Amino acid sequence: MKPTGKFHFKIYMLCCAITNLTLGFCIHAKDGPDDLTNIDAEEIKRTDKLTMTMCLQLYNSGTIVNMDIYYMSTVCAAHLQSKKVYCKGTIRSSCKLVPKSSLFTPSEARSLPRGTTRIAVNKQHNRVAVGWLDNKAINFIFISDTMAIKSVQRCVGCEKQQVPAPEIVCNYNK
C-alpha cells in the first residue's frame, strides 16, 4: 500500500556503510522532470540510470557499492566496473545476462540441502555469479569479493545451525 497520491515523493540516498553518512541523495516527484540525463544510452533502464547517476561522485575511486535486488543489474555492474566502481548485490534470476549455470530450478531448491552453492565465473568481464540455497534460492553477482565458503548461523525450528555460505553472503549482510 504505497502512497500514490498527488504529493508522492521518492528519496534515493547513497550512504557510507561504515560511518552512516549520506554521500548523496536524489528526490523524485511523481510527475517531476527526468533529471537522469547524465547517462546518455537509451537502452539502459531507468533504475540503472538512477544508480549510475547516484554513483557519479564515486567514479575512479575503487569504492565498493552494495545494492539490493531492485537496483542491481548486470548492465549497471558492467558500467560501474568500467568506471572503477565495484559492486555486489542480489540479482533477479530473470535479469539479462545472468549465467543460467548458477541458478537453481524450483524443484532443485526444494530437494537440495540448505547451504548448497553454485558459482559461475566470467573471466572476460571479471564478474562472479553465485546461486545459494537458504530458505529459497538467492542469487548474487559481484566483482569485489572472493569465492571462499564460510558458515552463517540460521534458526531451524528452535535450534541454531551452522549453514555453509559463500563469503559474499557474510559481507553483503554485514
Residue 31: inside a domain: yes
DSSP three-state, residue 31: coil
User: What is the pLDDT, as a whole number, of residue 60?
Assistant: 93
**Cα(140)–Cα(45) distance, rounded to whole angstroms?**
20
CB 167 within 8 A of CB 147: yes
Q: How many domains does the chain have?
A: 1
User: What is the pLDDT, as a whole number, of residue 40?
Assistant: 57
Write down the pTM of the prediction.
0.77
Q: Write the DSSP symbol of residue 113.
A: P
CB neighbour list of residue 103: distance below 8 Å, 6 or more residues apart: 93, 118, 131, 137, 139
User: What is the pLDDT, as a whole number, of residue 155?
Assistant: 85
Amino acid, single-letter form, for residue 108 = E
User: What is the pLDDT, as a whole number, of residue 116?
Assistant: 92
**Cα(99)–Cα(101) distance, rounded to whole angstroms?**
5
- Which stretches within the chain are classed as H helix? 46-54, 74-82, 106-111, 167-173
Residue 86: inside a domain: yes
Residue 109: inside a domain: yes
Residue 20: inside a domain: yes
Burial class (CB in 10 A: 0-12, 13-18, 19+), 16: exposed
Residue 2: inside a domain: no
User: What is the pLDDT, as a whole number, of residue 41?
Assistant: 59
Residue 4: inside a domain: no
Residue 44: inside a domain: yes
User: What is the pLDDT, as a whole number, of residue 122?
Assistant: 83
User: What is the pLDDT, as a whole number, of residue 84?
Assistant: 92
Average pLDDT by stretches of 10, the chain with 174 residues: 66 87 81 51 78 90 90 89 91 85 89 91 84 91 83 87 89 84
Domain of residue 137 covers 9-173
